[in-house]
Structure 1
């Protein structure tokens, strides 16, 4: 998704273009050393002036020029023009010599690039081309990186016979995929071998001089200019970054509105927010590697507003267009952009004022002057009846009060110790020693960054350390609260107000998960932990080993204590003696959580990820889950169980690869299948597992939760989507193919990017063998079906608005495409769509994936694995009780007679039972399954799972219908 940022796309396209220009021209120079005065390039850098001469050289020797090259030229010229036009409007409203100088540089670059484009034949191509700008039928990577200039390389052999030259040219022309006009060499001078050796030596010398490019990375290829060119590049960078955060902020406001008004789970909204924050952070990191020490939010906004926000008002404009099904647009309205609002100036200033004030006393209490301003904040203030100034004041007071509680809670782990520890020297980062003591689930990194700035000594310079992603995340936090009170920012109307979501509580979803009152014993986290601890104690007694589950119980107690103490509620609400009271104590001591939908959603999101990891780690460590599912599968296949339960059916679908060897439930030879899955003998296996788990706990790093990622599991290795995103730093492109679920929107997008291979004999198109393609084939999708499915889906998601400026904001109309069924097979295989997907459509697709994971139709993250494990152990206890009373022979063998089986009685008993010979034993087990029937939904944190309706416009299935959306380019 990096390409959704104008500047990053500009950089990428410029590198690709420069790479092709340099390698094409070098090949010509190497082949015709005596004919061409141009010097070969050995650095990967080319000046703007040289670009034109190289383009002319290439145009003289290569025909036709690949369409991709013209499109790359167009892309970088349009990016320059967009920024140039934007800053021209700024200068027209507020003359500034520095900006004018930058604009002159932009114009110089635009003219230079245009000249090079035309020298290559661009003007002539544009007059005849019928391809829509931005769309290429060619494989861009193949055009840029393949040896498309091989026609120019004659193996360093100069043919003495012109006819042979022409014949060779003809043969090569038939083989070339891009170059179709052969290069005609002059007939060599008849000076004998000496002349030939001289020419060959020169060519060899040139070839050797450009060989250094073989190890030059793509990142080093660029068009270079003077100092003014660097300034204009920076202007383009900050402008594109601002556009990106505006688009993402407006999208996320819509998502948090769905949380408050439509019941969207707040963990989904928090995950989408994390993805958006990662986009800003990733863009920021990529951009500012070119402009060191110019990456702070302060410098960025001063640049784009010329250092005066008030004077910038009126420069930025917005237009909203209704888009019809046919692609026609109609102007719906236009307005000036609220610069302070859209550029997050209010939020930034509140953050700066908070840090400045906190540093003055470092006591956790506001100074008297600031206290007068922020002390009367009310969560029920009537925003609808307030003036704009009053609403801004209300939001500012909330922001600063909330930040005070944030830093006080986060720093309490140090201040509560009563030791004289200099706070300014503490490492508050997520990799620091104090991160093991979680205080703020979900926003640990943000809390650490803000705390570090706030606790510095008075007067410490901190503005350069406030980066755009810090301000963007704080803006998202503040917006989530404002939106729940009915206040959001509309592109045209500015401040827009609805009746507050009266039935909404920020802790709504988090409270269902925790179930502190234990009203839902099978689903709630708290009761699930309690019951499981009792079951583990019973198992220890059964095996006469008090320490049998010592480490497991330690993990459960650690998780339970941290969640009860710091998730949704904190010890701060009861008053911590060494820190100042909550800034919200007059209305709610727990205001840090109660007044922050974002924090509650982010905390829940991390809790779901951690409980999933902990649950599967325990399932992997104990034996009951695998034993239960092998017994259940056999009893169903043998007809002992005639009414399968939804709990077991659902888990066999979700974790089939974990329960059975090869991922397939056996239909016979059940004992052998069980042995194939568990591997070594029970006693050796138990010893190995216990030792491994003890080492894992003993060697737990400073962050306890890092041991719960599942990477060390033997059976249950599948990651939830939340886990995959977190481990990828919330950047979807970093998720490995093998962790991308199918079907999913992310999988569809990823599959659309797979290379296509054409069979030279059959001319059939197939997909390159990536892990994701292999996965698609394994679930029964042919390559043709994949390409048709993805092409159809993406054609509905496409949003070709990447080149629009801030004054062209498009709102999609409510028109719908007709939803067509997808073909099972295709007689003609289409090329996958190469368009860019708009960032809003992209995030909407990811939202569907996250809904499916959190509370949808593939709900890995919504299951209480602790209570399910407790159910399995209770089921075993019931079976054991009945068989003991019957003195069943299989039970006696495993539990009393055979000492070698005593190490793990349930594992041994399962192995015996799966032999299928003890009918009495099997009937007792079957009766226990049927008497303790369990529904999958009994162990889901929520009251219900979300079914979906299909949005015909995008082809994506939404839980509440597609959101009211705007696209800012």
Structure 2
């Protein structure tokens, strides 16, 4: 899960699990051995450090062996505390800040308390022996913590003999040798009956007291069953909350830094190496969602402290001037002996690395826009912005000039962005005299203006910023600017600066190189839209135009002018949205009541022309919508299924050379095999297979939704994208990778197993997290039978084969193993530098990948979908393919008609129920295999009209598909120069 890649969230999870295990196991002991306990049973899951120590000692006394997982959980939360403590110790040394010293004392108190509890449980002994232990893989974390919960508490039954002695967990002389290990896992152990030798009076009194104590403690222990896992935690005084918040903001900012620098490398691939910008945008979308998800999980513990300003004020102690010099990085370098050690410390630029420059630009823009809410900077802002030169020689510019150049670009771009969304409302207020309170408008993609499409790709971000900008002058919006807003804006700005040769490195700061030669942010958008007519590479616009004409011809042939009208309107609406708002904006031509673009002096379309991120994100959404629209059309017209069934029959009968022609064999025997054949393509009984898929003669005309039903669907949806969900289709239900991710707002953790395609890297990542079961006798490892595992096995793979596949996923070794970790960094990171967030599961059996590696793995799936791979659904121009279907049928029809073919006459001149769908009828008659001449003519047309696969993809070539799988790096590493430990 993404949360496991954040220090604080991992700490929270591990703490909950550890406290849960300690509280529930101690409750069982206290209930069973009340005289041994110095405290009552915990009933709310909340413990202090002192209580944690005493309960750990109690458990150590009575339960053996302690599961390895518990020790590793202890180690994990102690290490997380130490990491933050070390971080702030560095700051104290540099700044001599008494408040930081106070926080450090609190951290030290926590670390000492946790360490004492760890030792009380026997952690010091385990730690000394762990290098020789081999039981890590034998334990499943969830099983250890949750399996058989409360079973140790079930012994309070009234049926239990009250005079029985309590079970002796330790010693166990002459008893069951498995009792100790059973108790340690919460498994009820067998009791031993021993007669009491006490006198009857004393024994009776003891029985009465013991029975009352059992009933009371039993009731308390069972209260734990109602305590949710989220309530289990360690608390101290207010200093504990403060140190938790420090941990939270430290881990969040560290994660933001790491992701920002990785994404610089991804956008560098777009500009310099030809990576499709939609791929980079999707990787960025996942990274943004990681930050968004992290902040939402973190700040649920700290309500009212989730703004970006509060985060930065906390980590810099509210004084930026003092903060500079407090933070350093220290790269690992290899010495003469071949080992690694930390080199000297390098001071980092606090304003740059902590996103303060980007935040200030965003804040200044919003407060300036609020002054008039008319879309034009104030005089004071205009004076500071002055002229922006997109071709400024950044290598010759001073650092201060580069910073001003970037700030001017950022604020100008934000003005154009908000004005595009704002323009619709302005027109309503101006032209229709509507009174619209700007500060209360819902600008989100679910708001009332969603049907007025004015932007692709970044609607959520644009809506949030527009909402802030539309508040009345003087409104304090600082609490509303969240970390993910600042992070996304920085990624957008970086995408532009990187293409101009300027990136930010942790050690060297500004890294300048020659701008990417010939790169234009709109490169991939233009190809998608217009293609290259000279090379017969139709883009989406030409393809829809041609298909529209062919659908109109089809309506005339059937004598029904309204035939296909819904789908023609759908495609035309989609094309108009693309023409008006994708890659170009009506705003550049001027909207009524709106000021001109802030980039008018150089390029009035600067909103798009100067933003690789917007172009990539817009293209991604366009690809998703065009695929959904195409599948809806394909699902409701007969040509695709008919053509591919005919092609399969001709190929299987040997009437086609080389066993088939493209692209029909690609669809029929590839990723649309289930949609078209509902299984493997038939080798005989072709008509029966077709009937089984689309229905018999009486139902063929009802295969496709009638116009009234489609119109009703359109009325019930808020936007075009809501109508284009393939899962509601009858045949073509397959979702593209873009659709899968978009449905969960780019959070891979939210994708259900059944939605994850196989094969894909995401499926391997998910299987790597699947529970593994090891047979203690044979040593054989098997996987839990999840949906994904079942699908892999259905393809003929065994457990060991699947596990072997997942072993190829790169993972970072545990930093607590210095030599292995340093060797890993030597092998994978330039100059042997490391960044401290790559850590494994607390359980140790399923190592997590680092965040940059995680994104790189997902990047390969996006490339496979958009560029070329095992499942390139979004790269294909389905409208052009459908047009080819129509042209192929037209030529077949002309040839059959010219020779007076009887099969053609039955299909096209008959007047039966079947012939209401003429091409469907021709397909049925042909699949009956009763007219060899008809099949021969069909085969000739198929052979004549075959095309190369490349003729049906949007791109001129499949650039970068084989060279973009390695982690994205700048010249010397993901951080511009290298990757380092933040101190």
Q: Normalising by structure 1, report the TM-score.
A: 0.92
Instruction: Note if 1:628 corresponds to 2:636.
Output: no
Query: Which of the numbers 882, 891, 897 marks the counterpart of 1:884?
Result: 897
Query: Which of the numbers 732, 737, 751 marks the counterpart of 2:767?
Result: 751
Query: Which of the numbers 792, 799, 810 marks the counterpart of 1:783?
Result: 799
What is the match of residue 544 of structure 2? 529
Q: Judging changes above 3 Å, is the alpha-carbon distance between structure 1 residues 681 and 424 closer, same or farther for their aligned structure 2 residues?
A: farther
Moved more, 568-577 or 668-677: 568-577
What is the match of residue 443 of structure 1? 458
What is the match of residue 956 of structure 2? 943
What is the match of residue 295 of structure 2? 284
8 Å CA contact 1:102, 1:229 repeated in 2: no
Moved more, 886-895 or 297-306: 886-895
Aligned mates of 1:151, 1:763 — CA distance in 2: 29
The Cα RMSD (Å) is 3.0
C-alpha displacement at 1:772, in angstroms? 0.5
C-alpha displacement at 1:498, in angstroms? 0.6
8 Å CA contact 2:566, 2:711 repeated in 1: no
C-alpha displacement at 1:852, in angstroms? 0.9
Query: Which of the numbers 314, 324, 327 marks the counterpart of 1:313?
Result: 324
8 Å CA contact 2:457, 2:620 repeated in 1: yes
What is the match of residue 710 of structure 1? 726
What is the match of residue 88 of structure 1? 89
Instruction: Note if 1:8 corresponds to 2:9.
Output: yes
Moved more, 160-169 or 601-610: 160-169
Q: Judging changes above 3 Å, is the alpha-carbon distance between structure 1 residues 23 and 187 closer, same or farther for their aligned structure 2 residues?
A: farther
What is the match of residue 842 of structure 1? 854
Which digits, 9 at most, give the CA deviation of each residue in 1:272-330, with x for residues without a partner?
00000000000000000000110000111011011111211111111223589x99535
8 Å CA contact 1:45, 1:223 repeated in 2: yes
What is the match of residue 496 of structure 1? 511
Instruction: Note if 1:740 corresponds to 2:756.
Output: yes
8 Å CA contact 2:291, 2:483 repeated in 1: yes
Query: Which of the numbers 227, 230, 233 marks the counterpart of 1:216?
Result: 227
Which digits, 9 at most, give the CA deviation of each residue in 1:725-773, with x for residues without a partner?
1111111111111222223221111111111234688664321111110
Runs (5+) with no aligned partner, structure 2: 831-842
Aligned mates of 2:829, 2:9 — CA distance in 1: 32
Moved more, 153-162 or 741-750: 153-162
Aligned mates of 2:71, 2:734 — CA distance in 1: 45
Runs (5+) with no aligned partner, structure 1: 817-830
C-alpha displacement at 1:652, in angstroms? 2.6
SS at match of 1:272: helix
Q: Judging changes above 3 Å, is the alpha-carbon distance between structure 1 residues 968 and 868 closer, same or farther for their aligned structure 2 residues?
A: farther
Aligned mates of 2:344, 2:390 — CA distance in 1: 34
Instruction: Note if 1:663 corresponds to 2:675.
Output: no
What is the match of residue 878 of structure 2? 865
Moved more, 429-438 or 595-604: 429-438
C-alpha displacement at 1:138, in angstroms? 2.2
Query: Which of the numbers 908, 912, 921 marks the counterpart of 2:921?
Result: 908
C-alpha displacement at 1:35, in angstroms? 3.7
- Counting only pairs closer than 5 Å after superposition, residues 20-99 of structure 1 correspond to structure 2 as 20-99=21-100
Aligned mates of 2:242, 2:960 — CA distance in 1: 52
| Bigger relative contact order, structure 1 or 2 (CA pairs below 8 A, ≥6 apart) | 2
What is the match of residue 819 of structure 1? none
SS at match of 1:16: helix
8 Å CA contact 1:31, 1:153 repeated in 2: no
C-alpha displacement at 1:839, in angstroms? 0.8
SS at match of 2:718: coil
SS at match of 2:726: coil
Aligned mates of 1:586, 1:523 — CA distance in 2: 33
What is the match of residue 797 of structure 1? 811
C-alpha displacement at 1:333, in angstroms? 6.3
Q: Judging changes above 3 Å, is the alpha-carbon distance between structure 1 residues 184 and 37 closer, same or farther for their aligned structure 2 residues?
A: farther
Moved more, 477-486 or 959-968: 959-968
Instruction: Note if 1:672 corresponds to 2:688.
Output: yes
Query: Which of the numbers 421, 431, 446 marks the counterpart of 1:431?
Result: 446
What is the match of residue 101 of structure 2? 100
Q: Judging changes above 3 Å, is the alpha-carbon distance between structure 1 residues 617 and 26 closer, same or farther for their aligned structure 2 residues?
A: same
Q: Judging changes above 3 Å, is the alpha-carbon distance between structure 1 residues 832 and 311 closer, same or farther for their aligned structure 2 residues?
A: closer
What is the match of residue 295 of structure 1? 306
8 Å CA contact 2:64, 2:184 repeated in 1: no
Q: Judging changes above 3 Å, is the alpha-carbon distance between structure 1 residues 802 and 382 closer, same or farther for their aligned structure 2 residues?
A: farther
What is the match of residue 216 of structure 2? 205
- Counting only pairs closer than 5 Å after superposition, residues 514-553 of structure 1 correspond to structure 2 as 514-515=529-530, 518-519=533-534, 521-553=536-568
Moved more, 711-720 or 583-592: 711-720
What is the match of residue 910 of structure 2? 897
Q: Judging changes above 3 Å, is the alpha-carbon distance between structure 1 residues 131 and 846 closer, same or farther for their aligned structure 2 residues?
A: farther
Which digits, 9 at most, give the CA deviation of each residue in 1:370-400, with x for residues without a partner?
1122131100001101111110000000000
8 Å CA contact 1:629, 1:659 repeated in 2: no
C-alpha displacement at 1:45, in angstroms? 1.1
Instruction: Note if 1:578 corresponds to 2:593.
Output: yes
8 Å CA contact 1:405, 1:583 repeated in 2: yes
C-alpha displacement at 1:719, in angstroms? 0.9
8 Å CA contact 1:641, 1:926 repeated in 2: yes
8 Å CA contact 1:582, 1:591 repeated in 2: yes
Which digits, 9 at most, give the CA deviation of each residue in 1:64-103, with x for residues without a partner?
2111111111111111122122222323333444333322
What is the match of residue 974 of structure 2? 965
What is the match of residue 663 of structure 2? 647
8 Å CA contact 2:496, 2:611 repeated in 1: yes
Aligned mates of 2:133, 2:589 — CA distance in 1: 64
Q: Judging changes above 3 Å, is the alpha-carbon distance between structure 1 residues 105 and 671 closer, same or farther for their aligned structure 2 residues?
A: same
Aligned mates of 2:972, 2:133 — CA distance in 1: 29
SS at match of 1:711: helix
Aligned mates of 1:719, 1:120 — CA distance in 2: 51
C-alpha displacement at 1:944, in angstroms? 1.5
SS at match of 2:504: strand
8 Å CA contact 1:880, 1:891 repeated in 2: yes
Aligned mates of 2:311, 2:343 — CA distance in 1: 31
Moved more, 762-771 or 262-271: 762-771
Moved more, 520-529 or 278-287: 520-529
What is the match of residue 721 of structure 1? 737
Aligned mates of 1:593, 1:803 — CA distance in 2: 48
Moved more, 480-489 or 328-337: 328-337
Moved more, 239-248 or 150-159: 150-159
- Counting only pairs closer than 5 Å after superposition, residues 431-510 of structure 1 correspond to structure 2 as 431-510=446-525
